[in-house]
Amino acid sequence: MARRQEGAPGKEARHAAILQALNTDPTVRISTLAARFGVSGETVRRDIEALSAMGAVRRTYGGASVTHAGVQPDFQAREAMAGTERARIGAIAAGLVEPGAVLMVDAGSTTARFARALATRGTAATIITNSLPVVSATGEAERLRVLVAPGEFYATERALYGNETDAFLRRFSADIALIGSSGLTLEGPSDAESRAAWVKRAMLGRASRRVLLLDSGKFGRGYLERVADLSALTDLVTDAPPPPPLAAALERAGVRVHVAEDV
């Protein structure tokens, strides 16, 4: 069995790099990735098989390609991807919350990381959410009040959706809405799940500060339904600077970018 060369990236870093490469090229070759990472082709093949099993990429002959616009990995699979980056994003986002704030938090692996970070910080706040992982992370924190939206349970996302969810959210006003998305392009955040996009729009419409939590592997990736224009956001919290065209579009839209690698 070939051993990883000294200084070569680990598995999680390789997975993130493969997804990042697919942001600029719809297909990638195993041979190219192996040379880039300094590992064997068999190692890259196993990486692609793992990402394919999560639904993050499609295997092709000799490489990988982007997934369909209406498909994304389920919540459990996404939890295993870019874990370090999402933990940093969650910590930065938790630092944006002032004591006493009312928050709307949607369902997703990155927003769940935010919820854990907020509970650890001990900040007093009220959380309105449709996400069971967010409830689990915050429900026992002494200084957090948690209101859970009703709706139909969707096991893949471990969240509640539907007309009742939307009606519930529109009863409240929030200081900050914190949402995730499947991807982010010059047109704005998008999602593979229409039911999730509806919830995100409802939350954005009820808050004065509107924060997107997104790891850099999603830059340039467009999915089935656009959630909103870039101008609907006030902040982006991510783990690496956006590429120049996206950075310029965010600046024109007045979106403040918080990069977790800076801390």
Q: Which sequence spans correspond to the domains of the chain?
A: 11-67, 76-262
Q: Which pLDDT score, from 0 to 100, does residue 162 have?
A: 94
Question: Which run of H or of E encompasses 162?
Answer: none
The DSSP string of 103-159 is EEE-SSHHHHHHHHHHHHHT--EEEEESBHHHHHHHTT-TTEEEEE--SEEETTTTE
User: Under DSSP, is residue 53 helix (H, G, I), strand (E, B) or coil?
Assistant: helix
With tokens 């539907």, the residue in question is 162
Q: Which pLDDT score, from 0 to 100, does residue 2 have?
A: 43
Q: Phi and psi dihedrals of 172, rounded to 5? A: -120, 160
Q: Mark the ranges of the chain whose per-residue pLDDT is less than 50.
A: 1-4, 69-71, 74-75, 80, 262-263
Q: Are strands 58-60 and 63-65 parallel, antiparallel or unpaired?
A: antiparallel
Among 148, 152, 172, smallest CA distance to 162 is for 152
With tokens 């874990």, the residue in question is 83
Among 126, 144, 205, smallest CA distance to 171 is for 205
Quick one: fold of 76-262?
A: Rossmann fold (3.40.50)
| Token pair in block for residue 100 | 């006493």
Residue 140 contacts by C-beta under 8 Å, 6 or more apart in sequence?
Answer: none
Q: Which pLDDT score, from 0 to 100, does residue 50 have?
A: 83
- Of 3.40.50.11540, 3.20.20.120, 1.10.10.10, 1.10.3720.10, the CATH number of 11-67 is 1.10.10.10
What is the rounded CA–CA span in Å between residue 47 and residue 22?
14
What is the rounded CA–CA span in Å between residue 61 and residue 63?
6
Q: Which pLDDT score, from 0 to 100, does residue 17 have?
A: 83
Q: Which pLDDT score, from 0 to 100, does residue 79 have?
A: 52
pTM of the complete model = 0.73
What is the rounded CA–CA span in Å between residue 37 and residue 126?
44
